[in-house]
């Protein structure tokens, strides 16, 4: 587990505010931002995100229907769309993608906790208790 992994999971679990996450994300190089988005898309797939998570993710992220990541997540198979969202290049689109992917991860992981981890599990990220 890396510092990045911990932070992304803290954001998804609401243990850190999104404003902190955006500030952290904005401070990354463009290459690191792209890598972070790819990891987030992968985490969403690993958490078993489903197509129906898209609209709720949009709502939680506070994005408008015309934003590129929103248009992408509402069209087609979510695993494919998450990859496209992770590849967005302009900074303002990457920032929106970051917010959306965190929201989708939160939704999928909440469901996974309820269904598969309610009696305990070995996922390190389910043991996080928040910022220091």
- What are the tens digits of pLDDT across the range 76-102? 889 899 999 999 999 899 999 999 999
DSSP structure class, residue 48: T
Length of the chain counted residue by residue: 132
Domain locations in the chain? 3-115
Q: Is residue 12 a contact partner of residue 40, using CB atoms and an 8 Å limit?
A: no
Query: CA end-to-end span of the chain, whole Å?
Result: 17
Q: Is residue 44 a contact partner of residue 9, using CB atoms and an 8 Å limit?
A: no
Token representation of residue 65: 């229907």
Asked whether the whole model's pTM tops 0.85, one would answer yes
Chain center to CA of 79: 13
């Amino acid at each position: 587990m890396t510092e990045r992994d911990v932070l992304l999971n803290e954001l998804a679990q609401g243990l850190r505010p999104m404003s902190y996450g955006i500030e952290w994300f904005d401070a990354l190089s463009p290459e690191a931002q792209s890598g972070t988005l790819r990891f987030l898309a992968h985490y969403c797939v690993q958490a078993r995100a489903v197509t129906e998570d898209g609209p709720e993710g949009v709502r939680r992220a506070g994005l408008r229907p015309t934003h590129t990541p929103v248009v992408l997540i509402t069209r087609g198979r979510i695993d494919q769309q998450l990859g496209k969202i992770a590849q967005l290049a302009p900074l303002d689109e990457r920032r929106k993608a970051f917010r959306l992917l965190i929201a989708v991860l939160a939704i999928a992981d909440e469901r996974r906790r309820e269904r598969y981890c309610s009696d305990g599990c070995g996922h390190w990220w389910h043991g996080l208790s928040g910022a220091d």
